Amino acid sequence: MSREAVADALAASEHAVALTGAGTSTASGVPDFRSDDGLWREFDQSDITIGRFERDPGGFWRDWTAIHADLFQDDPVEPNPAHDALADLERAGILNALITQNVDGLHEAAGSESIIRLHGTGATASCRNCGRTVETTAAVEGLDEAEFPPRCEDCDGVLKPDTVLFGEQMPLGAMREARRLAEETDVLLAVGSSLTVDPAASLPRMAGRGNATLVVVNLDDTPVDPLADYVLNEPVEEALPSIAAQAIDGE
Ligand SMILES: [Zn+2]
């Protein structure tokens, strides 16, 4: 059974790394932007590009907060058992690092610490003028939509979410670190990612310079499946806790 074999590989690994995508958070109720019933039916991707932000920061913030409503509710989304399992693996010293495409902050909430954020984070926003960083919830708190965009307390500069927007370059430091981790890893666990968009699509191909054990846990097929040692088409919130428990036991 694949779960046991994956747990054994993790328990025996020296530099295990996880790569996570939107599918990791769907069980928490965070919508998957790319699925058929995802948010792009309701919102236009071109509304939240860096170009739109620069042209119309107020309109951008109105759309952005609507799309990310789960970040701004009183009752925010919670980590699910897949996030918890990844945090447990790190705490047990099995998982060295986690590379994520997600901006929802749920890995942090679950207790993961060594996180490479390929797409930044929606949890904070930074001043375009002086660089001051604030919590996004605090930035928009008490603001009427008509008062958008939120501005810097220090210099009145416009705040931008620390999420990498469409059309914006990915953070070079995070990209470099992700590549280094992928090259050094001996077990790469790709979780809840369709592995179709770079760099997530290319990281598994460079895993261990071709010598790593490659594991894909995703409900749907991915283009990386033919290269993978194990493909688990199972809900991540069921597969991960069982794999983590066995790996931690078997270490
Ligand atoms: Zn400022």
Q: CA 223 from chain center: how many Å?
A: 19
Domains located in the chain, CATH noted: 1-30+78-119+170-251 (3.40.50.1220), 31-76+121-163 (3.30.1600.10)
Measured in angstroms, how far is the CA atom of residue 159 from the centroid of ligand 1? Answer: 8
Over residues 182-219, the pLDDT tens digits come to 999 999 999 999 999 888 899 999 998 889 999 999 99
pLDDT at 48: 83
Residue corresponding to tokens 């790394």: 17
Q: How many Å lie between the centroid of ligand 1 and the Cα of residue 143? A: 17
- Whole-model pTM: value is 0.88
Q: For a pLDDT cut of 70, what percent of the chain falls above it?
A: 92
Nearest CA to 218 among 197, 241, 242, 189? 189
pLDDT of residue 72: 56
Is the four-CA dihedral 219, 221, 224, 230 of positive or negative sign? positive
pLDDT band at 142 (very low <50, low <70, confident <90, very high): confident
Question: What pLDDT is attached to residue 213?
Answer: 96
Query: 49 C-alpha vs ligand 1 centroid, how far in Å?
Result: 22
For the stretch 57-108, pLDDT in tens is: 999 999 888 877 765 555 678 999 999 999 999 999 999 999 999 988 899 9
96 alpha carbon – ligand 1 mean position (Å) = 35
**What residues are annotated to the active site?**
119
147 three-state secondary structure: helix
| Residue 41 clears pLDDT 80, i.e. is over it | no
Rounded to the nearest angstrom, the distance between the alpha carbon of 153 and the centre of ligand 1 is 7
The C-alpha torsion from 138 through 107 and 126 to 77, rounded to 10°, is -30
In terms of Cα–Cα distance, which of 244, 251, 249 is closest to 6?
A: 244
- Assess whether pLDDT exceeds 60 at residue 38: no
**DSSP assigned state of 146:** G
Cβ neighbors of 38 (< 8 A, separation 6 or more) are 31, 32
Residue 238's closest CA among 191, 186, 177, 204? 191
